[in-house]
Structure 1
Amino acid sequence: MANVNVYLDKQEYGKDRVRLLKVHKDTKVHRVDDLTIRVLLSGPSFTTSYTEASNKAVVATDSMKNTCYILAKYSKVVDTLELFAAELGNHFLNTYAWVEGAHVSIIRHRWARMIIDGKPHNHSFWRDGEETRQTDLFIKRGQNGTRRSVEIKSAIAGLLVLKSTGSAFENFVRDEYTTLPEAKDRIFSTCVDSQWEFNIPAITSTEQVLPTLSQVPFNEIYDSVREVTCKTFAEDESASVQATLYKMAAQSVQNWKWLNRVSYALPNRHFFPVDLSYFRGTKNLNEHADVYQPVADPSGLITATVARGVAPASRL
């Protein structure tokens, strides 16, 4: 084999799938945060653990797991994923001087409060579907050691929606490969994945990480993006998934100065009318359709990102 020069281009390592449930008992009405956490650390000091089999700089991933539990015990911001991720990331940079960057991802799983005898129960919950709230944060040490550079993306994942009317798909390209009929009225269903990128204020010191990020109304923005998604989906007389997606993303960028870009991925979940004409001429197509067959695969996939500002000339 030829002697070819190689080098370690980049690296991250850490603990994945740290499961954590925080119960907030500060009032009689309890709240729960059910989290899955990933922590990854990076920096030149870790290079030798790969290239020279030296563990002198390696923080054990089990220690990272324990850190998640300890910080969750005393943290006041667990219910704001972005702030808790920042608290975790900043902790690793402050504790280990050789760590240059910390990459923290958190998934929040949904629990809804039970309604018992018509009233919300104080401490009982049920799993409200597989939709999750997510955040992905990268915090990096500045040149002088105290400044912090922070990038944050947050998301909704797995929001399954369906409406039985108010959607069409017409006037698309027809050629020798086309068998799909045009639809003036069809079922519209998708599983929403949406991500938004934050415009983060400059952070001048390690002590200012949480105070600076606390200026951003992360929880309100999440609630707003979710509400815009559902309201637009429900009310838009959709000409296509593309057209509805654009309205969703554009509205959220316009609503919040803190958002630079909003992205969506909308897979088309198909429901096709079943032809029942073989059974006594039963009509179940076109305007007569009310019995459908769900078809999982293959599916269309529509994605787009809407950004703040004026489009570059190359995009016009």
Structure 2
Amino acid sequence: MPSIAAARYGKDNVRVYKVERQADGTQIVTEMTVCVLLEGEIDVSYTKADNSPVVATDSIKNTIYIKAKEHPVTPPELYAAYLGTHFVEKYAHIHTANVSVITHRWTRMTIDGKPHPHSFYRDGSEVRTVEAKISKNNIAIRSGINGLLVLKSTGSQFHGFVRDEFTTLPEVWDRILSTDVDCGWAWKTFTSMSAVEEATPKFNRAWEGARSITMKTFAEENSPSVQNTMYKMCESILELVPELDTVNYKLPNKHYFEIDLSWHKGIKNTGKDAEVYAPQSGPNGLIEVTVARSQASKL
């Protein structure tokens, strides 16, 4: 007889905006997209049409708003832990809450050289991400950066790769490098909500550090390959934040191809003479890595 191997349900794409009003008139704004998926003793709602264990997804949506009012929403790791802990403590038959938080970027305007107290602008598609899995015994949190689009016009190379009958790519010692950064880091498992609260200052520092390391390494290194550069980024983040277990990157290689214009009046536009390029939307290279601490460092 068939049986359920895995099941979860909840509310996705819940948009939340919170404003914090400071005593000096300055306001801080946070905009999030939240998803909560619940697991537990819910099989009969699928197999027997018995809805008695179902916490309505509309109730889940309402809870997301209420917890945003009751608790800080920054850092998002803390809010996700509060939110997930509510569900596993409130409902005995819910064993796990999976919480995803995407924090959208609002940057404070500078007007006449001064930060404006309540005006902001969207300066890119970059978001801060959190995925938390909260059970009755522990809290697992993974933080990240997504949508950080970067480009450098020189300082990248790629040569020495496999050449065979399928190869047409030339070796290059100077090329354009651009990628859409997807970076994540997994925290060592937290044993309780109080442990997450104690770690609160570390969440923002880790995000700021990972973002800074990503851009500094990308900008300053004469990259021998995306693979090697992303590994160095992971090493630096693990060194900066001892509380992390792993760091991972997923980097698409966004290509810019030279255009041969020699057919028109002998215009030189390749190699050292290249100035005009054709940005490519696809296909693109995709390079991924996850770097964990050595076993020796865990002792």
- TM-score computed with the length of structure 1 as normaliser: 0.90
TM superposition shift of 1:202? 2.6
Q: Which amino acid aligns with 2:122?
A: R
Contact 1:72 1:78 (C-alpha < 8 Å) held by counterparts: yes
Deviates more, 1:258-267 or 1:112-121: 112-121
Alignment match, 2:105: 110
Contact 1:200 1:258 in 2 (8 A): no
| Match of residue 203, structure 2, among 191, 208, 218 | 218
Distance in 2 between residues matched to 1:215 and 1:260, nearest whole Å: 18
Equivalent residue, structure 1, for 2:224: 239
Q: Could you tell me whether the CA contact under 8 Å between 1:92 and 1:99 is conserved in 2?
A: yes
Supply the distance in 1 between the matched residues of 2:92 and 2:22 (Cα, whole angstroms): 35
Equivalent in 51, 60, 64 of residue 60 of structure 2: 64
The residue identity in structure 1 corresponding to 2:29 is V
**How much has 1:160 moved relative to structure 2?**
0.4
Q: Which amino acid aligns with 1:107?
A: I
Task: Please tell me the residue identity of whatever aligns with 2:13.
Answer: R
Cα deviation code 1:40-82 (max 9, x no counterpart): 11112x111011001111111001101111111121x201111
Count of aligned residue pairs for this structure pair: 293
Report % sequence identity.
49
TM-score, structure 2 normalization:
0.95
* 1:153-192 paired onto structure 2 within 5 Å: 153-192=142-181
Shift of 1:199: 0.8
Residues in 2 aligned to 1:215 and 1:128: alpha-carbon distance in whole angstroms: 32
Counterpart Cα distance in 2 of 1:267 and 1:122: 37
CA distance in 1, matches of 2:123, 2:93: 42
The Cα offsets for residues 2-49 of structure 1, whole Å up to 9 and x where unpaired, read as xxx2101111110000000001113422111110000111112x1110
Confirm whether residue 17 of structure 1 aligns to residue 13 of structure 2.
yes
Cα contact 1:200–1:213 (8 A) shared by 2: no
Q: Which residue of 266, 272, 275 maps to 1:287?
A: 272
What is the aligned-residue RMSD (CA, Å)? 1.2
Deviating beyond 2 angstroms after TM superposition, the runs of 4 or more aligned structure 1 residues are 200-203
AA in 1 matched with 2:261: L
Equivalent position of 1:81 in the other structure: 76
Whether the aligned pair in 1 keeps the contact of 2:80 and 2:100 (CA below 8 Å) is yes
Are 2:157 and 2:224, in contact at CA under 8 Å, matched by a contact in 1? yes
Per the TM alignment, residue 299 of structure 1 is displaced from its structure 2 partner at its CA by 0.3
Distance 1:232 1:280 in 2: 41
How far, CA to CA, are the matches of 1:85 and 1:309 in structure 2? 29
Quote the offset at 1:310 in angstroms: 4.0
Q: In the alignment, does 2:225 pair up with 1:228?
A: no
Separation in 1, partners of 2:219, 2:203 = 24
Give 2:287's aligned amino acid.
Answer: I
Q: Unaligned stretches of 5+ in structure 2?
A: none
What amino acid sits opposite 1:215 in the alignment? E
